[in-house]
Amino acid sequence: MSEEKRPERRLLDAGRATRTMRWVMAIMLFLTVLAAALGLGALAASRALDRQLAGRLTIELVEPNPIARDHDAAQVLAMARGDRNVAAARPVDPARLAKLLQPWLGAIGNDPDLPMPVLIDLDLHDASDLAVAALARRIHAIVPAARLDRHAAWMAPVTGFMNLLLGLAAGIVLLLALATGTVVVLAARAGLETHRDTIEIMHMLGSTDVQVARLFQRRIARDTAIGGAVGGIAALAVTALVGTRLAGLGSALASGATLGPGGWIALAAIPFLFVGLATLAARIAVLRTLGAKL
Amino acid sequence: MANIVQFENVGLRYGAGDETLSDLSFALTSGAFYFLTGASGAGKTSLLRLLYLAQRPTRGVIRLFGEDAVTMPRKRLPGFRRRIGVVFQDFRLAPHLSAYDNIALPLRIAGVREEDIEQPVHEMLTWVGLSDRIHARPPTLSGGEQQRVAIARAVIGRPEILVADEPTGNVDPAMAERLMHLFDSLNRLGTTVVVATHDIQMIQRTANAQMMRLDRGRLLDPTGALRFPPSERDG
């Protein structure tokens, strides 16, 4: 039934308080969706890092004698390619290595007489400490001086930072949800006080507490929905803009932070969740307040 | 006839002060017409608040429709309140609703379907002489018109008891006469009517009405005997 045909819904006068409530909700939802976008972006980046780095390690063979070095490299590569835990084994191209070292060594890096280490990248099926230790034993049996670098180990600070961002964003979302609930409870209590006469009339006409609560629930749900739509759409637009900028940076980490369809759906769902939260908070606040009266 | 309301040693105290109402013991018979009178501050409004379940007494027993209204669980009150029509001294109309919607409000609260509301509301508007003010909102109505809307709202649910607090206090004598005629009509349909007033002339003009007099929170007749005992009312 339309609002026009349910005039009792107009019992609570809509005025300045309603407009203020909608703006408050718009701001809360804007901040919440942005915080959630930050968290989801950090989560996506963290997962992308995990995918890229968790099962990867690099073997470094340092041997001044080029013949012995090439021999060691061939043996280690052959062992790795025959290992069931190794998905792929690739020697790093010496030219690429020289380019990587160029900032430190300059033009001398291209000198064929300079003893350069051999690097072999491995992708592992099982990157657990136990499996990596077993593989290390097999490699050291061939080349005792070989060094193993687990990529996850040196990317741990980045992953830790991403997890910190994720936790921070989750905390902000929870705090904003709590603040929104508190705002709704305060608004409902203020509304009860403002409309005390109307509520008393309704009670005297035989209205139940639930009927009175529904008036507030509808009002607050509508205000949250309108405010949430404004704040949510604005936050989604900002998120899309930032995502476009991140994608343009050309960084693997930044690209990993962009949201997939699931992330966008989760962000779009937040205003609906807040409408539910606000409605529930209003109901509880009104019923508790009315329950203390006759 | 059966008692619809029974007070036994009822007392009411607001806060820590003296009792506003003391030792009230009386019974109201179903279908009778009562005036409650007394000077300002005698406790008329407080007594009416107990009657329409806006207040619980500090002590004593109130039986309403045969049930103990003092210990009645709160969740049962709405059902009982729907059986009582109230006309407030200050009307208490919803200012944002039209005369039609104000009168329809009790039916909507009771869950009556929209298609079953229109006819009784129009009949009620005609009955109180406001069929031409159907869309008017309370702030645009005169005091007398607001009072009639309040009365229509109080009686549209066919209450078993109608409680009116100084219903003629804000209207001219002609309108007061007309309103009392409305109450009398309703009473003849079987509704028990309780009207608080200090207008002695109005009481005297109303045939067969019984009177309760309050003075400083006490009924002047402590035995509960009324001017016209129910058994003699139609005799």
Whether A150 is in a domain gets the answer no
| Domain count along chain A | 2
Cβ distance of A206 and B92 shorter than 8 Å: no
Same domain? For A131 and A182 the reply is: no
Last residue of a domain, which of A80, A115, A144? A144
pLDDT at B210: 86
Whether A56 is in a domain gets the answer no
Mutate to test the interface with A, among B108, B117, B156 (most CBs of A within 10 A): B108
Q: Which chain A residues have a beta carbon less than 8 Å from that of B55?
A: 294
Whether A12 is in a domain gets the answer yes
Tell me the average pLDDT across A189-202.
84
Residue in A22, A34, A9, A3 with CA at minimum distance from that of residue A183: A22
Amino acid B28 reads: L
Whether the pLDDT of residue A1 is over 50: the answer is no
Last residue of a domain, which of A144, A172, A189? A144
Q: Which chain A residues have a beta carbon less than 8 Å from that of B96?
A: 10-11, 13
Query: A122 vs A68, A85, B204, CA distance in Å?
Result: 21, 10, 109
Q: Which residues contact B193 (CB under 8 A, 6 or more apart)?
A: B32, B33, B34, B161, B162, B164, B183, B186, B187
Q: Which chain B residues have a beta carbon less than 8 Å from that of A197?
A: 92
Cβ distance of A211 and B98 shorter than 8 Å: no
Rounded CA separation B126/B114 (Å)? 19
Same domain? For A46 and A86 the reply is: no
Start-to-end C-alpha separation, chain B: 14
Same domain? For A168 and A267 the reply is: yes
Same domain? For A39 and A67 the reply is: no
Last residue of a domain, which of A84, A114, A144? A144
The per-residue DSSP string of B162-180 comes to EEEESTTTTS-HHHHHHHH
- Provide the token pair at B112: 């009556």
Same domain? For A161 and A280 the reply is: yes
pLDDT bin (cut points 50, 70, 90) of residue A226 is very high
Whether A29 is in a domain gets the answer yes
Whether the pLDDT of residue A246 is over 50: the answer is yes
Q: Which residues of B81-110 are buried (b: 16+ CB within 10 A; e: fewer)?
A: bbbbbbbbbebbbbebbbbbbbbbbbbbbb
ipTM reported for the complex surpasses 0.85: no
Number of H helices, E strands in chain B: 8, 10
pLDDT at A110: 67
pLDDT bin (cut points 50, 70, 90) of residue A174 is very high
Phi, psi values for residue B214, rounded to 5°: -110, 140
* Nearest residue of chain A to residue B88 (CA atoms): A201
Rounded CA separation A176/A189 (Å)? 20
Same domain? For A172 and A275 the reply is: yes
pLDDT at A253: 65
Same domain? For A72 and A194 the reply is: no
Whether A58 is in a domain gets the answer no
Look up the pTM and report it. 0.72
Whether A74 is in a domain gets the answer yes
Phi, psi values for residue B156, rounded to 5°: -65, -30
Same domain? For A163 and A75 the reply is: no
Is A12 or A197 the better-scoring residue by pLDDT?
A197
Phi, psi values for residue B63, rounded to 5°: -110, 125
Whether A228 is in a domain gets the answer yes
pLDDT bin (cut points 50, 70, 90) of residue A3 is very low
Cβ distance of A8 and B101 shorter than 8 Å: yes
Same domain? For A210 and A257 the reply is: yes
Q: Classify the C-alpha dihedral A78-A79-A83-A88 as positive or negative.
A: negative
Tell me the average pLDDT across B36-44.
89
Q: Provide residues of A within 8 Å CB-CB of chain B.
A: 1, 5, 7-8, 10-11, 13, 197-198, 200-208, 211, 291, 294
**Per-residue model confidence as pLDDT tens digits over A137-148:** 999 999 998 998
Same domain? For A136 and A169 the reply is: no
Cβ distance of A5 and B95 shorter than 8 Å: no
Amino acid A211 reads: Q
Rounded CA separation B214/A78 (Å)? 111
β-strand B210-215 against B59-64: which pairing, if any? unpaired
Rounded CA separation A53/A133 (Å)? 17
Whether A2 is in a domain gets the answer no
Which residues make beta-bridge pairs with B8?
Answer: B61
Range of the domain at A215: 7-50+157-291
Same domain? For A262 and A196 the reply is: yes
Across the interface, of A8, A13, A198, the residue whose CB is closest to B108 is A8
Same domain? For A263 and A163 the reply is: yes
Instruction: Please provide the average confidence, as pLDDT, over all residues in chain A.
Output: 85
